[in-house]
Structure 1
């Protein structure tokens, strides 16, 4: 886990992401609570986040093309600055009549964020050695969970004490600090890029997904994960407030405490990746995640003790971050650098589309089917995604300890069959 941190370019990227994600988690936790308090409606809460996902469906493929065409560091720097400014209109929100303004700002914010992610994840494998990619992704996962631990807890507390304005200002400051760390150029990761037409470049990324066995399987896995996550985003607030009788602080703490397990998961990834290849690691982590989720959602039938849910939500963070690392490693390691941004952009678009579907299903079906049924469906979808991954990658050789090297375009055409067998 220490190896990638010796690369100064990766270290700066890592710290910038940590600061930015603290602010993001504050807003991610506070905004659904704020909307639910304004409206008292799970459907209205779902609508806000579905609307925010719509630009991602359109922009993700374009974002991937831009990540392969432009300097990725400069793209992330510019996006961070614009994101800070884009949040400021939310300071004018005061009541339910301002939901339109919330939706407009969320659309803009989500559109900018989708420009950032393909660039960041496409840049990462160029900043570290190929055998350090999983460890670097583990550090990103560790980073995210430390940010969640701090940001989610602060988000609930700040919303209670200072309202949405305090949360927004903190998020703006986090974007500006991250931008400062991205000012200096990276010595690594700079390559000469071609500039094909946008549509043709996008099609090249789709062809790469079609032609790579591991990427085809990941279409189904990511789709199932995204629907499940969409259901969770909407119904977690309802579960804590209506089933557990909690408020802003409890929501923030339970979201934040997941980072405790996530930190452990991030630290374990470097070890696990040398014993399990990325696909198998992903499948096992998703199965464990689904099982623990089911225990939590059905917990109120047995106990309402706060300590039980604190421990449970802390534990679930470990398989969560391990699954995320496994997913990203499969995608990064089986895509050539010159098309990696486009491939990741297409997967982000898929993720957002199915996450929007999950949100809509949660908002529409929670009343007729009931909260417990929908939450158990959410857990079951994660487990199903794990089974799909394990079906594809279970028969791997015990001696295959390390992750495969990053494939070039030429090598990928010749090695596709052998890679499929290895996975």
Structure 2
């Protein structure tokens, strides 16, 4: 897997830039809400800051995908990174309660840029890494680096903010976006043929549609369970904020292990079975987690859940890249990103409703069952079930 970084120079530059972008994002993901709450003492202001981050993906995500497919992707990368840097820099004046208004436009501008950056990355990987086996390694490497950052980034960001160094965290993120723009400005990306929308009758295949449905159901249930993680830790485990931190760290470690294992699984298992099996294992792990009566069992269950969770994410990305036409990959990736954002909102709204109707214990079990339902939906996907696998001899095994 690591040979891809050593021997594939274009992907190495893309990976470095994407990792730098992600580092800044994870650094601020908890730092911004903590900063807002620290200077305002308002839970409402903190909640608005979190909601604003998801709004651009819901509102403009699909349109961003269309533009990504029409514009040179290197230009998209450079401009979007510069815009994101400018947006994040608007956070710097938000140092007192009467200047908290700077936070919201800053988050909107940054996340509009992210609406272009993420789908552009997914659309560029197949053009940069054409071999299926090498692409599996590339996707696994991206997932691995992001898994490390999702553990370390929030911890570093909250530490800096709690120590009064929020401006330093912002400056690191700004520098990261600008550095990524400089790296990607020299990246050679093979252009794809651009055709009109009316010439894309096969863009949304039944396989992609079924994958989108199962993915949306999976992430909606995940978002709802995430919203109920704190009540679960307090009511069932009799813990506190530190308990939640331990659970999130365990999940991150599981993601790290799953990302490391995903490459070999991608090359050995049918696409439909890998995604469905991962969803099922996550659902079963959640059932163990949310019926646990001790911290030890809960920590073990959530760590195990992270392993197939990471595999499911990598497999979905790889499947989309392999199934969508190259000239439409930007818009397809953007639709999946928008679907994830809508799922986050839907899950956050569904969680308190489920608790109000059935109570916390039953709601946790029902939502874990919804993850298993997503596994059943994924198993019923039509279309190709296996990706080409390159053997050491150079031959290619096909479905």
Q: TM-score, normalised by structure 2?
A: 0.83
| 2:340 is the alignment partner of 1:347 | no
Q: Give the Å deviation of 1:401.
A: 7.2
C-alpha separation in 2, matches of 1:28 and 1:321 = 19
Q: What is the CA distance between 1:311 and its match in structure 2?
A: 4.3
Match of 1:315 among 296, 304, 310: 304
| 3-state SS of paired residue (2:153) | helix
How many angstroms does 1:281 deviate by? 0.9
Structure 1 residues 154 and 162: CA distance shift in structure 2, 3 A: same
Partner of 1:258: 251
CA deviation after TM superposition for structure 1 residue 131, in Å: 3.1
Which deviates more, 142-151 or 2-11? 2-11
The answer as to whether partners of 1:279 and 1:389 remain within 8 angstroms in 2 is yes
Shift of 1:46: 5.1
Q: CA deviation at 1:29?
A: 2.9
The answer to which structure, 1 or 2, has the higher relative contact order (CA under 8 A, 6+ apart) is 1
Q: Structure 1 residues 381 and 392, CA, compared in 2 at 3 Å: closer, same or farther?
A: same
1:265 is displaced (CA, Å) by: 1.5
Gaps of at least 5 residues in structure 1 are 405-418
Write the mapping of 1:76-155 to structure 2, written as runs, cut at 5 A.
76-93=77-94, 101-128=102-129, 129-155=131-157
CA–CA distance in structure 1, aligned partners of residues 367 and 18 of structure 2: 28
1:29 alignment partner in structure 2: 30
- Match status 1:16 vs 2:10: no
Note the alpha carbon deviations across 1:316-364, whole angstroms, 9 max, x for none. Answer: 3221110001111111101111111122222222222232222233366
Q: How many residues align?
A: 388
Question: Aligned partners of 2:330 and 2:159: how far apart in 1?
Answer: 37
Aligned 1:292-311 pairs, distance under 5 A: 292-299=285-292, 302-303=293-294, 305=295, 310-311=299-300
Counterpart of 1:167 in structure 2 is 169
How many angstroms apart in 2 are the aligned matches of 1:281 and 1:321? 12
2:374 to 368, 380, 385: 385
Deviation for aligned residue 1:141 = 0.9
Question: Residue 394 of structure 2 aligns with which residue?
Answer: none
1:187-242 deviations in Å (ceiling 9; x for gaps)? xx41254364xxxx3x666x4354x2211211211211231243255444565577
Deviations 1:19-69 (A, max 9, x none): 22122112223344555675675x765554344323222322222122212
Q: In structure 1, what is the Cα distance between the partners aligned to 2:202 and 2:90? A: 40
- State how far apart, in whole Å, the 1-side matches of 2:281 and 2:220 are: 18
- For the aligned residue pairs, the C-alpha RMSD in angstroms reads 3.3
SS of residue matched to 1:90: coil
Q: Which runs of no fewer than 5 residues in structure 2 stay unpaired? A: 391-397
In 1, the alpha carbon distance for the partners of 2:141 and 2:150 equals 14
What per-residue deviation string (whole Å, max 9, x for no partner) do you get for residues 244-297 of structure 1?
6444x7655643443322222122122112221222111111111122233333
